[in-house]
């Protein structure tokens, strides 16, 4: 009879251990995190939104770029003319041409610097808008597919967890223009 009681207690203990073990396995599985990664550089290079932003910037700054190119050509022509005709010019005319050349060069440098600053500012604004849209899409994907963590910058990302292509497709979807 004592052996029967011990056997029942061992059986109960074993059943309890198996139940607890199964619970621990389930808890361990619940602790596994779903992780993914996105390559932001690819988003900024390849997404339709980034390409549209680039085209918008090119259109917006095309006239100023053309004006700068024309001004650079005038500067070169004036410099070439001064080099060619300078020795045969009167000292007063040569000095006036050199002042004109210097003034035109100063104007060109100033306008070129302003152009670069304005372009960089607008580019940063447009890229920030693209990244904002991408982050919204990434958040939607994370919620829909139950990801616990999505990183955007990493030293190494296994292709197994890289969801950049999925984000690019979602950004290109016509219903995703917000």
pLDDT at 42 over 60: yes
How would residue 8 be classed by pLDDT, with cut points 50, 70 and 90? Answer: low
- The residue written with tokens 């030293």 in the block is 155
Q: What is the pLDDT of the chain when averaged over all its residues? A: 84
For the chain, percent of residues with pLDDT exceeding 70: 80
Residue 88: per-residue pLDDT: 85
The CA distance from 26 to 90, in Å, is 96
Which element (helix H / strand E) includes 4? Answer: helix 2-31
CA-based nearest residue to 79, from 54, 104, 42, 108: 104
First to last CA, the chain: 76
Residue 31: per-residue pLDDT: 66
Burial 59-89 (b: 16+ CB within 10 A, else e): eebeeeeeebeebeeebeebeeebeeeeeee
Alpha-carbon radius of gyration of the chain: 34
Question: Under CATH, domain 33-172 is a member of which superfamily?
Answer: Skp domain (3.30.910.20)
Domain ranges across the chain: 1-32, 33-172
pLDDT, tens digit (0-9, with 9 covering 90-100), for 85-141? 878 888 888 888 899 899 999 999 999 999 999 999 999 999 999 999 999 999 999
The CA distance from 165 to 146, in Å, is 18
**146 token code pair:** 């139950």
- Residue range 152-158: mean pLDDT, rounded: 91
pLDDT at 165 over 80: yes
């Amino acid at each position: 009879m004592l052996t029967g009681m011990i056997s029942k207690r061992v059986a109960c203990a074993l059943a309890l251990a198996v139940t607890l073990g199964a619970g621990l396995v389930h808890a361990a599985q619940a602790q596994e995190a779903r992780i993914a990664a996105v390559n932001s550089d690819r988003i900024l290079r390849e997404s339709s939104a980034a390409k549209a932003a680039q085209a918008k910037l090119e259109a917006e700054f095309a006239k100023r770029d053309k004006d700068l190119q024309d001004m650079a050509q005038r500067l070169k022509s004036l410099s070439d003319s001064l080099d060619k005709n300078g020795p045969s010019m009167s000292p007063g005319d040569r000095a006036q041409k050199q002042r004109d050349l210097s003034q035109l060069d100063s104007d060109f440098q100033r306008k070129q610097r302003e152009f670069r600053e304005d372009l960089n500012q607008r580019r940063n604004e447009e890229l920030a808008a693209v990244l904002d849209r991408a982050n919204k899409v990434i958040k939607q994907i994370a919620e829909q597919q139950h990801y616990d963590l999505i990183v955007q910058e990493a030293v190494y990302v296994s292709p197994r967890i890289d969801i950049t292509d999925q984000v690019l497709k979602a950004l290109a979807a016509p219903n995703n223009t917000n």
